[in-house]
Amino acid sequence: MAGAIIENMSTKKLVIVGVTLLLFQAFAFMVGGLIAPSPTTAVHYLATKCVDTTKHRQETKWFMPWGPNQCDKIRTFDEAMAKKIEANNIVFAVHIPLPNKEMSPWFQFMLVILQFDIAFKMYNQIEDGALATIDVGLAYRDDTVSEWTEMAHSYEQRKLSCNFTTAKTFENEGRYYECDLLPFMEVGSVAHKYYLLNIRLPVNERKKVNVGIGEIKDIRLVSIHQNGGFTKVWFAMKTFLTPSILIIMIWYWRRITLMSRPPVLLEKVILALGISMTFINIPVEWFSVGFNWTWMLLFGDIRQGVFYSMLLSFWIIFCGEHLMDQTERNRFSVYWKQVGPIVFGSFCLFIFDMCERGVQLTNPFYSIWASDVGTELAMAFIIVAGICACLYFLFLCFMVFQVFRNISGKRTSLPAMSKARRLHYEGLIFRFKFLMLVTLTCAAMTVIFFIISQVRADYLGGNWLHDMRKICDSAVEYRDTGGNSGEDIQLTTTITHVDGPTEIYKMTGKEAQE
């Protein structure tokens, strides 16, 4: 391989570049750890049961859970049965955000997860493979006096996966199933201040709609959005780093063009990697603050896909160009067998992302995980991607091993050289080995980052359920024991009265049961 500029740079300049990059990285970590707040916030909501008294629903009517135009409410379904209110006339209403708060474009996205509170009844148990049919509408407005504007409406199905941990006997009636979380909604832009969800569970025994789903008591939602403070720090970092990367790229390519020879393949790939890095760092998110760009999540995924594809290709070409096996290289076509699978895998992930977030551009309630076929397809994509990543990393390790073996073979000819020539080649060999180890370290860190990001996503979706379930189990246990223990129980949940949300606190004895 013709000497690339990274090999021809003096050790002093290379050390300066490396130390500068490390300082930038340390600075970014310090900003993230000391200045930036937590990336996301999860807010819990308990849906209010509203009564739809209209007989003919020709126009869309929105039901507010609180405020001056709040709906007619019921507390329990027993109250609905006493008043002869049918299930089809009950609307679960959720206002996002909580009272006296506003949503902001700085939140960037809004992910909503749903959980049913289902009580066990001997004669109304959850059937195997039960599907809950949900008639859901989403509306928005930007002040507290204007009318609601419909944003989306859909009929969705979610498969229930619930377990009853105790014996199914009459004595245990009223205890709750432990149900898995259900993906519910994802919006790629938070352009409005207030959002309203109206959820219906239509019942049609003839068509087997919402039959065999148990006795649903309540609907709980958790809304996850990016923190505004984190968004501002993130935007500031991207705005600062993008010009820095551009300056480095211009300086680098200027050095290449000043050389007497044409650029080699590795130098071209480094430039392409810098361009992809610039593409992912350009702070176009600033425009999402002023415009309702719901496609920003999909665009972000595409940018990440382009960057990681280029990064994986760079590692392969970087190792291949340093094999020193006397094979004619310095041509991109030589690596088509290695780069081709990377491009194919990235294209498969792009198709998978389009099946999820592409559809959500028109229907935010769609989820590929909601159906068995979609779940199997999604898992197949993820498993194939994981297998390809492992095979890629093993192949990269093999290439680095070949580089080290070839370099060790070249060292046998060093003693016959002059001292100055020998020192020059020993420096090159040391630099080769160092860059190979850095390459493997970067690849390993990329895999670790992917795993941590997946664990983080699972934590955001599941940790709140664990906390809520402990509170609910404590309340149920206290109720079942009749409050004989004499201990006060603290329930911090939200109910709706005429004058707005209040808190239940320190309920004891008979009052707690009621």
Q: Are 320 and 329 in contact (CB under 8 A)?
A: yes
Mean pLDDT for 3-25 is 71
Rounded Cα–Cα distance for residues 480 and 349 (Å): 50
Cβ density class 312-342: b for 16+ within 10 Å, e for less: bbbbbbbbbbbbbeeeebeeeebbeebbebb
Take residue 365 and report the two structure tokens written for it: 């309630």
| pLDDT band at 490; cut points 50, 70, 90 | very low
DSSP 23: H
Instruction: Identify which of 62, 115, 124, 111 has the alpha carbon closest to the alpha carbon of residue 91.
Output: 62
Q: Are 446 and 392 in contact (CB under 8 A)?
A: no
Cis (ω within 30 of 0) for the bond into 97?
Answer: yes
HEC sequence for 33-58:
HHHCCCCEEEEEEECEEEECCCCCCC
More confident residue, 126 or 327: 126
What is the pLDDT at residue 196?
A: 95
Is pLDDT of 461 > 60? no
| pLDDT band at 511; cut points 50, 70, 90 | very low
Is pLDDT of 463 > 60? no
Burial label for 446, CB within 10 Å (0-12, 13-18, 19+), is middle
Non-local CB neighbours of 315 within 8 Å, separated by 6+ positions:
396, 439, 442, 443
User: CB neighbours (10 Å) of residue 186?
Assistant: 20
Is pLDDT of 471 > 80? no
Write down the pTM of the prediction. Answer: 0.75
The DSSP result for 394-461, as a single string, is: HHHHHHHHHHHHHHHHHHTTSTTS-HHHHHHHHHHHHHHHHHHHHHHHHHHHHHHHHHHHHHHHHHHH
What is the pLDDT at residue 198?
A: 95
Mean pLDDT for 340-355 is 82
Q: What percent of the chain has pLDDT over 70?
A: 78
Q: For tokens 């610039």, name the residue.
A: 278
Burial label for 40, CB within 10 Å (0-12, 13-18, 19+), is middle
User: CB neighbours (10 Å) of residue 223?
Assistant: 24
| pLDDT band at 492; cut points 50, 70, 90 | very low
What is the pLDDT at residue 404?
A: 77
Is pLDDT of 459 > 60? no
| pLDDT band at 305; cut points 50, 70, 90 | confident
**Paired strand residues for 196:** 95, 139
| Torsion of the alpha carbons at 309, 313, 314 and 317, rounded to the nearest 10 | 180
Poorest-pLDDT segment among 108-117, 208-217, 313-322: 313-322
**Tens digit of each residue's pLDDT (9 = 90 or more) over 405-433:** 777 776 666 676 666 766 766 666 777 77
Q: Are 196 and 64 in contact (CB under 8 A)?
A: yes
- Choose from 352-361, 388-397, 472-481 the range with maximum mean pLDDT: 352-361
Q: Given 3-state DSSP classes, what are the helix, strand and coil percentages for the chain, each rounded to the nearest 5?
A: 50, 20, 30
Rounded Cα–Cα distance for residues 175 and 121 (Å): 9
Question: What's the longest Cα–Cα distance across the chain?
Answer: 101
